[in-house]
Amino acid sequence: MLITGDAGSGKTIFGLQFARSSCAQGYKTVYITTEEDASDLYTQGDTFNWDLKSYTENDLLSFNELAGVRARVTEAEMSIDIGAMKGNFSKFINELPDDTQTVIIDNIGSYTAKLTPYEFRDRFDLLIYDLKKRNITALVILDSATSKEFNEIALFSVYGALRLMKRENPYTGRRERVMDIVKMRSTKTPTQFMSYEIDDTGLKLI
């Protein structure tokens, strides 16, 4: 599943909520974060009373923090002025435990610098293929700016895709959040936008 959206649309909340649901069903879940520390994500979970740490303590949830790794790679590239460290999406799954059943990647856009659209499609297809081969259920988050930069080609590689958006309601003039179910293979999907909100329980349809 691919989730795209603008800043503030609730992508990370969606990812954490998906991880929590997966753990609640007993699935071994890994949350790969490329932009935030695990402590920040625990704090976000506490905001909704999700108690993510209890799943970690029960060995159902683990966080793989890549933000620091990305910062060190960027610093190295700047110091030696090379472009060799292009997006290598295989790093997302190479170190996953063998018993991983669910993975959330938030946000893959942080690893696309210097890639051409062809290179991005090639690497993204391989990532999806490897996840499928390992029978891992995956939620991949991609910011809308990066998705548009690569002409939305990631949509063609996945079984399902949701786009989270913020827009102005033409009737009320108020800002609202809406979800576009872009595709969902083997499933009848609505053509109209679906409104959602983020309250003290998380993200929910209204």
Residues 6+ apart with CB under 8 A from 179: 162, 163, 164, 165, 193, 194, 195, 196, 205
What's the domain count of the chain?
1
Predicted pLDDT of residue 170: 79
Successive 10-residue mean pLDDT values, the chain, 206 residues? 94 97 98 93 96 97 79 44 57 88 94 89 93 96 94 94 90 89 90 93 94
How many other C-beta atoms can be found within 10 angstroms of the C-beta atom of residue 173? 7
Question: Between β-strands 160-168 and 175-184, what pairing exists: parallel, antiparallel or unpaired?
Answer: antiparallel
Q: What is the C-alpha R_g of the chain?
A: 17
Backbone conformation region of residue 141, classed left if phi is above 0, alpha if psi is from -120 to 50, else beta: beta
Q: Are 125 and 157 in contact (CB under 8 A)?
A: yes
CB 109 within 8 A of CB 66: no
Distance CA 37, CA 113 (A): 21
pLDDT score at 75:
45
Strand order in the sheet with 29-33: 61-65, 29-33, 102-106, 137-143, 2-5, 160-168, 175-184, 194-199, 202-205
- Give the up-direction half-sphere exposure of residue 174: CA atoms within 13 A in the CB hemisphere: 5
Please give the C-alpha separations between residue 193 and each of 53, 182, 206, in angstroms, as whole numbers. Answer: 34, 10, 11
Can you tell me the distance from the alpha carbon of 4 to that of 105, in angstroms, rounded to the nearest whole number? 12
Distance CA 15, CA 19 (A): 6
- Residue 20: CATH number of its domain: 3.40.50.300
Give the angle 131-39-66 at the CA atoms, nearest 5°.
40
Query: What's the domain range around 67?
Result: 2-205
